[in-house]
Amino acid sequence: MSLTYTPLDEIPNIHATARRAFLSGKTKSIVFRKRQIAQVAWMVKDNEQRFMEAMKADLGRPYQETEFFDFGIVYGESRMAYDNIEKWTKEQAPDFNPNWFLMKPRLKPEPKGVVLVIAPFNYPLFLLLVPLISAIAGGNAAVLKPPENTPVFSALLAELLPEYLDKELFHVVNGAVAETTKLLELPWDHIMYTGNGRVGRIVAEAAAKHLTPLTLELGGKNPVIVDPKVDLEMAARRIFWGRTSNAGQICLAPEYVLVPEESQAALVSAFRNFYHSFFPEGAKKSDSFGRIVTEAHAARIKNLIEQTRGTIEFGGDVDIAEKYVSPTVVSNVRADDPLMEIFGPVLAIVPVKDIDEAIAFINSRDVPLAIYVFSFDKALQKKVVDNTQSGAIMMNETLVTAGAPGLPVGGKGPGGYGYYTSKYGFDQFVHMRVSVNNPAWVDKLALWFRFPPYTVAGGKKIRSLETPLPPRPTDSESSISNTWVVLLATAVAAASSVAVLRAMERV
């Protein structure tokens, strides 16, 4: 199927239409936003079969995976935004403060404006529509750029979106590099990009020119630590599921497993059992196993498998024409092995001495989107949590945080920044506008002292606005502990005299 690309000279017009529609103020109505949010869900619900078929055509993806990962999250997000939008958009007051409450300080989330959402091929429905729901809840206009390598899905979205959503505010732009480049030249009020770090840098540089704020979701090499004392069968089942779902093309997928050398064989054998129980007639014949998005990617993965210096325990078959890569486990993989960058159904096992070596291994690489720990030992879990960085950290599970309602999805360092989903997704698309309204008489009662000419009396008054300082740390390891004793005594004396004299301020 060939995808109809949006004509290049149409793109600025689409941007202008969205801008005009935003400026018309129609997104200000919360009722309007709620209807649009509901429509996003109904667009999917009414066309579930077509979307599932599109994913099947583009990614060979089993229906169940589309329902579980794409539909489920879109429905959940739409419901959450629909139910919480009044709470999210409501004006908030900071904590009561006697010096300032007369001015009625308030904060209110307001839309950023016209936003751009760019999504990759692996979860185009989730990665476009979930941000769209957040953007609508925030009151924005939005342009969606689906991936060009899922042509059936991208065409379907371009067909359906205008049938369900406001045609002026919300648009789909289809295309490849030229169209994306054109999009990136325009001044957006926020850009949300999901994909890889190389393109992420291009997007960030384009955003820098217009001072556009960004959310970047860039994935990374997610490690798994397996404690041999864990229920190995459970661990193998959940890891293997995380690695083979969507044929391994998930930014949260476990990419490699760190396990003590002596337990490697047992783990491999558990993986092998699940290979057989997941795909009893082999993965190629199974309707429960997806395909690689393009032949080029299948060839890339084939190349990695051929180059690895590890031991291929099972799998390793690639049929480029069918975009098929079999679920594969490779053991004895070392840090410098080519397999350490996969995005396919190939799981590398890296044997280590102990937990310290596993942590050191993780810390020697880029901060991943997720770290997975399979262990029932709380102390071990805590050790990993405290000594590593990552977007997410899961104990005895893979992938699922993205689906837990209310948990933000977001990377750190090279994994990106900003958040998807829930209130945190909404926050990406709003600006907290602050306000105060200060009655005239406040100047008589207080705050008169701020006006020139400055006087000694006014200076004292200013200090009355001050909150008391936290106690001075008495820590003896400080380099200036000597002078401190004197200072501390002074402070104590000052504090007590203040307490006695009360209203008297320090000058």
Partner 1 sequence: MTTLTYTSIEDIEKFHETARRAFDSGKTQSIEFRKDQIAQIGWLLRDNEDRWREALRADLGRHPQENDLLEFVSIYTEVNMAYKEIEKWTKAHSIGFSVNWFPMHPKYKAEPKGVALIIAPFNFPLFLLLGPLTSAIAAGNAAVLKPSEQTPATSQLLAELLPKYLDNELYHVVNGGVPETTKVLELKWDHSMYTGNGRVGRIVAAAAAKHLTPLTLELGGKNPAVVDPKVDVKMAARRLLWGRFSNAGQICLCPEYVLVPAEFQDTLVEAFTEAYQRFYPEGPEKSDSFSRIVTTAHAARIKRMLDGTKGKIVLGGQADVDNRYVAPTVVRDVPVDDVLMGEEIFGPVLPIVPVKDVDEAIAVIRAKDHPLAVYVFSTDKKFQDKVFKSTKSGAAVANETVISAGVPGLPVGGVGPSGYGYYSGKQCFEQFSHYRVSLDNPGWVDTVAFGFRFPPYKPDYKKHIGSLTGALPPRPGQKSAMKVVKRWGLWVVFALVGASSALLMKSGRFAQLKAPAQA
Active site residue ranges: 217, 251
CB of 299 to partner 1, least distance (A): 25
Among residues 100, 48, 40, 47, the alpha carbon closest in space to that of 74 is found at 40
CB of 3 to partner 1, least distance (A): 28
**Which residues are paired to 118 by β-bridges?**
145, 193
Task: Round to whole Å and give the CA distance between 116 and 182.
Answer: 12
Question: Given the structure tokens 């993205």, which residue do they identify?
Answer: 402
CB of 117 to partner 1, least distance (A): 17
Closer CB to partner 1, 237 or 302, in the complex: 237
**What's the first-to-final CA gap in the chain, in angstroms?**
78
Strand 170-172's sheet: what is its strand order?
A: 170-172, 141-145, 114-118, 190-194, 214-217, 416-417
Closer CB to partner 1, 173 or 409, in the complex: 409
Among residues 29, 141, 147, 42, the alpha carbon closest in space to that of 429 is found at 141
Closer CB to partner 1, 269 or 387, in the complex: 387
CB of 138 to partner 1, least distance (A): 12
Look up residue 119 and give its two tokens. 């999504």
Closer CB to partner 1, 201 or 334, in the complex: 201
CB of 385 to partner 1, least distance (A): 7
Angle CA 336–341–342, to nearest 5: 135
Closer CB to partner 1, 315 or 418, in the complex: 418
The full DSSP string for 359-406 is HHHHHTSPPPSEEEEE-S-HHHHHHHHHH---SEEEES--SGGGGSTT
Task: Round to whole Å and give the CA distance between 136 and 78.
Answer: 10
